[in-house]
Amino acid sequence: MADPVLFEFLHTEMVAELWAQDPDPGPGGQKTSLLVLEGMGFRVGQALGERLPRETLAFREELDILKFLCKDLWVAVFHKQMDSLRTNHQGTYVLQDNSFPLLVRMASGLQYLEEAPKFLAFTCGLLRGTLSTLGVKSLVTASVAALPACKFQVVIQKP
Amino acid sequence: MLLLQGLTGRKEQAQLGPAHPISALCPDLQKSSELFTLTYGALVTQLCKDYENDEDVNKQLDKMGYNIGVRLIEDFLARSNVGRCHDFRETADVIAKVAFKMYLGITPSITNWSPAGDEFSLILENNPLVDFVELPDNHSSLIYSNLLCGVLRGALEMVQMAVEAKFVQDTLKGDGVTEIRMRFIRRIEDNLPAGEE
């Protein structure tokens, strides 16, 4: 079993190396470099989702799937549960983590707020990828008001 | 907060109750090694897209590993209580039995010492980085786990040892075992400014 520190260091290094370096910088270059990290997260999330046993694919409701992300997926990835889950019952969910592990070491408060988005892109993809394996199309965005708390917003795409 | 404005209307707190039956269904997911292995795989895949030839991917993996090693050594020394190594044999033991065990959960065996005691091999029975991996034919010169070499080099450099680490056998390429060859180059002298001791 790999030590959690390895993932943290690898993630930091991925952000540092891949952030500015997009092979195809379109208009709004920064946005696309977020997409590279998000895309990698998506693939990892998809694969993690595929590793689930068949039974888990039989979720009855959307809310159950979101609860699964907040609890099981978060524990598997970050060794803690998400702190809260809110919804407007119209396909929008807000998942809040009050001490997001990938931000904890950076700062407590507003310092480095501008740097924070880079460290969330991979995880947004991770959530979207896992949802995709579970048969749910979604858009996932993240926002930070003050480190190390952050919110992930999941908008389910209706078919 | 911009993001939450769309959430007016019936906003409710969904209850995150205790025990969820899913936890019992997927003990595999509880292991973080899969996360690391899968993330590493995604990184290699991305680098293969970004660079045209495998040599550049190898270089990039080594460089990223070096950067990780430089930081990982501090974590290692703080957690393991290992003191300074007096010779390369002791270093080999610490790497295989303490460091690999702590970070990857495996203990490589140490073999093939050179007569001068400045070279040895780490034999990895099961390299956790390569779980679920199959190399496509067109990447024959890609050294998939090259990050490890960078990590070893970076970490040892921080404890004043210049070494060379490289893969000489790899199960991904059909070899029977995975072997990393370690070579001691020189001891890095403390670089104190003149007049200070």
Query: Which DSSP symbol is given to B177?
Result: S
* ipTM reported for the complex, 2 dp: 0.87
The answer to whether residue B61 is domain-embedded is: yes
Kindly report the nearest CA distance between residue B26 and chain A, in angstroms. 6
CA distance B120 to B108: 12
Give A-chain residues touching B68 at CB under 8 angstroms: 9-10, 13
CA distance A23 to A33: 9
Closest CA to A135 of A118, A159, A116: A159
The number of folded domains in chain B is 1
pLDDT > 90: what percent of chain B? 59
Q: Once rounded to an integer, what is the mean pLDDT over residues A81-98? A: 92
Kindly report the nearest CA distance between residue A118 and chain B, in angstroms. 16
* Domain encompassing residue A14: 4-156
The answer to whether residue B72 is domain-embedded is: yes
User: Which of B9, B22, B50 minimises the CB distance to A72?
Assistant: B22
The answer to whether residue B55 is domain-embedded is: yes
Give the pTM: 0.84
A2–B103 CB contact, under 8 Å: yes
- Residue A44 burial by Cβ neighbours in a 10 Å radius (0-12, 13-18, 19+): buried
Mutate to test the interface with A, among B10, B35, B147, B152 (most CBs of A within 10 A): B35
Q: What pLDDT, on the 0 to 100 scale, is given for residue B135? A: 81
Preceding peptide of A148 cis, ω within 30°: yes
B16–A85 CB contact, under 8 Å: yes
**Residue A9: closest CA among chain B residues belongs to which residue?**
B68
Torsion of the alpha carbons at B79, B83, B87 and B93, rounded to the nearest 10? -30
Q: Give the CATH number, domain containing residue A71.
A: 3.30.1380.20
The answer to whether residue B138 is domain-embedded is: yes
CA distance A152 to A84: 11
The answer to whether residue B14 is domain-embedded is: no
Which range has the worst mean pLDDT, A11-25, B66-80, B106-120, B155-169? A11-25
Give A-chain residues touching B104 at CB under 8 angstroms: 2-3, 6
Show the tokens assigned to B38: 């899968």
Give B-chain residues touching A105 at CB under 8 angstroms: none
pLDDT > 70: what percent of chain B? 80
A3–B35 CB contact, under 8 Å: no
CB atoms closer than 10 angstroms to residue B166: 16
Pair B28, A50: CB distance under 8 Å: no
CA distance B98 to B78: 13
Pair B116, B110: CB distance under 8 Å: no
The number of folded domains in chain A is 1
The answer to whether residue B181 is domain-embedded is: yes
A72–B36 CB contact, under 8 Å: no
Q: What pLDDT, on the 0 to 100 scale, is given for residue B14? A: 46
SS (H, E, C) chain A: CCCHHHHHHHHHHHHHHHCCCCCCCCCCHHHHHHHHHHHHHHHHHHHHHHCCCHHHHHCCCHHHHHHHHHHHHHHHHHCCCCCEEEECCCCEEEEEECCCHHHHCCCCECCCHHHHHHHCHHHHHHHHHHHHHCCCCEEEEEECCCECCEEEEEEECCC
Give B-chain residues touching A18 at CB under 8 angstroms: 46
Judge whether residue A118 has pLDDT over 60: yes
Q: For chain B, what is the mean pLDDT?
A: 83
At A10-49, the pLDDT tens digits run 999 999 888 765 555 555 555 567 889 999 999 999 998 8
User: Which of B14, B37, B43 minimises the CB distance to A63?
Assistant: B14
Closest CA to A92 of B50, B96, B6: B6
* CA atoms B101, B106, B107, B113: torsion sign: negative
**Residue B129: closest CA among chain A residues belongs to which residue?**
A2
Q: Give the CATH number, domain containing residue B166.
A: 3.30.1380.20
Pair A144, A113: CB distance under 8 Å: yes
At B94-128, the pLDDT tens digits run 999 999 999 999 999 999 999 999 999 999 988 88
Kindly report the nearest CA distance between residue B8 and chain A, in angstroms. 7
The answer to whether residue B162 is domain-embedded is: yes
Q: What pLDDT, on the 0 to 100 scale, is given for residue A23? A: 52
- Residue B76 burial by Cβ neighbours in a 10 Å radius (0-12, 13-18, 19+): buried
CA distance A80 to A74: 6
User: pLDDT confidence of B30, banded at 50, 70, 90?
Assistant: very low
The answer to whether residue B42 is domain-embedded is: yes
B68–A56 CB contact, under 8 Å: no
* Domain encompassing residue B63: 31-187
Show the tokens assigned to A135: 């048969």
